[in-house]
A = this chain, B = another copy of it.
Amino acid sequence: MIGTFYGVGVGPGDPELLTQKAVRVLGEVDWIFHPYDNPDGTSFSKRIIAPLGLPDSKFKSVHLTMSRDRSKDRQTYDVAADAIFSELRQGRSVAWITQGDPFFYSTFMYLYEQMRKRYPEVSIEVIPGVTSPSAASARAGVPISRLHEKVAVLPATYGLEALPGLLDEFATVFLMKVNRVFDQLLEILAGLPTPVQAIYMEKVGTAEERIVTDLETLKGENLPYFSLVLLRRHSDERDGV
């Protein structure tokens, strides 16, 4: 009997935002695989679940570079899929933990596809998590979408030139991982015909959380990878809710 493979979203950073399902599954599985992305070997996703007090012997780490050139990570995922399958075929269950939601800008997706392609006999269960846009808007007190409004989410590095047009059509635009293009973003925002509400947030829900409403003050700063900007058109509160 082949074990089940779980893709577990652990939420944006606050351990209390883990779902009950994630907590149960992480307690039940034989192995928890996780990426680590810092030179010192620490893992953001592993840190989120630390308060669960699971034994360290249950964890296996996989090194990812998180660079824009993904070829090395692809090899790593191929190797990880094999390593995970060798546990599953012995009847053991394995979870892969990932920040936020497993299918939303996550490192889990490629592993998921490799597993489906190489080992179609494996049963995979994906456990959704709270995303960083949801957590960020909750912390900032800024609604994402009323009943008639549209929402766009862009990885900042790949879509910034389209931003002015999108802000006409979408009530809220989330820019994910703005760290690399932040100064370019400031220029675009300064050139908009009508100003929009803009909120910068990093590491939402962690002890290092930072929320900044005057984006100009961040100019030239070295911003972290887990950073996003929420852009929202001002609208009449009573309109269409």
From A10-18, A30-38, A182-190, A194-202, the one touching the partner chain is: A10-18
Q: A16-B20, A70-B241, A128-B17 are in contact. Are A145 and B138 (CB under 8 A)?
A: no
Report how far A173 CA is from B87 CA in the complex, Å.
Answer: 36
Q: A74-B238, A129-B130, A138-B103 are in contact. Are A143 and B21 (CB under 8 A)?
A: no
Report how far A150 CA is from B158 CA in the complex, Å.
Answer: 9
Of all chain B residues, the one with the shortest Cβ separation from A174 is B151
Report how far A35 CA is from B138 CA in the complex, Å.
Answer: 20
A144 smallest CB distance to B (angstroms): 5
Do residues A144 and B104 form an inter-chain contact, with CB atoms below 8 A?
yes
Q: A101-B134, A162-B169 are in contact. Are A113 and B237 (CB under 8 A)?
A: yes
Report how far A104 CA is from B112 CA in the complex, Å.
Answer: 27
Task: From B103, B127, B134, give the contact of A103 (CB < 8 A).
Answer: B134
Report how far A37 CA is from B137 CA in the complex, Å.
Answer: 26
Chain B residues positioned under 8 Å from A15 (CB to CB): 20
Report how far A241 CA is from B103 CA in the complex, Å.
Answer: 12
Task: Please report which residues of chain A, range 134-164, place their CB below 8 angstroms from some CB of chain B when the two chains form the complex.
Answer: 134-135, 137-139, 141-155, 157-159, 162
12 contacts between A and B (CB under 8 A): A12-B128, A17-B20, A19-B19, A103-B144, A104-B134, A126-B138, A129-B134, A130-B130, A145-B155, A150-B159, A151-B152, A153-B153
Sorted from nearest, which 8 A-B pairs have the closest CB atoms? Answer: A16-B21, A126-B138, A128-B134, A151-B153, A110-B241, A128-B138, A103-B143, A103-B144
